[in-house]
Homo-oligomer: A and B are copies of this chain.
Amino acid sequence: MEYRRLGKSGLKVSALSLGSWLTFGQQIEDKVAEELMDIAYEGGVNFFDNAEGYAGGKSEVVMGKILKKKNWDRSSYIVSSKIFFGAEEKKPNMIGLSKKHLFEGTHNALKRLQLDYVDLIYCHRPDKETPIEETVWAMHQLVQSGKALYWGTSEWSALEIMQAHYFAEKNHLVPPVMEQPQYNMLWRDKMEMEFLLLFRDFGMGTTIWSPMASGLLSGKYNNADPKDARFSMDNLEWLRNRLLVESNIHKVKLLQAIAERLNTSLAKLAIAWCLKNPHVSTVILGASKAVQLKENLTALEVVPLLTNEVMEEIDQITGTKPEVIIP
């Protein structure tokens, strides 16, 4: 396993990490979850990603039980939670980035995880109804009180992240360290254009979700929209609508051909492609089966095959390489 710094921070994250979204406490049995964590940990993965909103809090409960049972050295792994969507209930002040929910949400996440602190705590989305001041102060306090070691954001715009740095620096508060954006061959603008100034000036780290475009880049939707896949789950219409379009299916077939030529799977090609980007700190893998995770954990082997020529070929197929037009 390769380890990378989380941006300019001193924290080392395994280049591949394990996420619990849609699987833990939801798609898979708890014993499968345990098997996946075993495989990951043995394979050198040191980062397990979670959030209060995953499976209404159950994902954290499942992960917490496994961590307790395994009794691995606390310093050998990194756990995250993300606050915004709430867990079970969604009454006023049970969602969002108000100080009240950030505090109570983190407190509840720690209880579910049976941990004294998480390594990483994220603001899971921007909150238009809370001023940045309140959120930055709250994250600072969570970090100062030892409930979390580093704080970051997920799916925030570059401007919102810079605003957080702005306010933090002005008030001598702890700034955000990392962002968790979607990033894959079909969805590139944020990582390759919007965030450039943040990488240069703040050394922002990134923990990538959806390296396979929610499964689209696994090739499993090439022929159908199977019932058991995540697109059929409730509340994911926005992902389906955005990604599962005819033109993307066509692109996926062309990418599949490249993968075959390189003697690898499309999934591993997609993961390796993310890892080529030096601004990626870690790629979060989701998995519902042991065999799938084992396979994808070998994706680092594919990175050296991604020559400039192959990368350009991929750019041609996807047509998603952002172009910076300076008029």
| A residues adjacent to B (C-beta < 8 A) | 3, 5, 8-12, 14, 46, 73-76, 78, 89, 91-94, 96-101, 103-105, 108, 119, 125-127, 129-131, 134-135, 137, 141, 144-146, 149-150, 155, 158-160, 162-163, 165-166, 169-174, 182, 194, 197-198, 201, 203, 238-239, 242, 325-327
Contact = CB atoms under 8 A, between A and B. Distances in A.
Contact of A10 (B91, B99, B201): B99
A46 B93 CA distance: 10
A225 to B, nearest CB: 20
B171 A170 contact: no
A96 B169 contact: no
Contacts of A96: 10
Most buried by B among A98, A163, A239: A98
B129 A5 contact: yes
A224 B159 CA distance: 41
B9 A130 contact: yes
Contact of A75 (B9, B100, B203): B100
Contacts of A150: 99
Contacts of A149: 99-100, 103
A218 B104 CA distance: 39
Contacts of A160: 197
A162 to B, nearest CB: 5
A93 B4 CA distance: 11
A201 to B, nearest CB: 7
A242 B96 CA distance: 40
A141 B144 CA distance: 7
Most buried by B among A73, A104, A108, A327: A327
Q: Which 4 A-B pairs have the closest CB atoms?
A: A10-B130, A10-B98, A12-B92, A75-B104
B170 A169 contact: yes
A294 B100 CA distance: 28
Given A99-B149, A155-B326, 18 more contacts: A10-B96, A10-B98, A10-B130, A11-B99, A14-B92, A46-B91, A75-B101, A75-B104, A141-B144, A141-B146, A155-B327, A162-B162, A163-B197, A166-B166, A166-B169, A172-B173, A238-B327, A239-B327
Contacts of A108: 75
A210 to B, nearest CB: 10
A115 B5 CA distance: 32
A98 B182 CA distance: 26
A154 to B, nearest CB: 10
Contacts of A10: 96-101, 127, 129-131, 134-135
Contacts of A182: 327
A92 B9 CA distance: 13
A224 to B, nearest CB: 24
A125 B326 contact: yes
Contacts of A14: 92
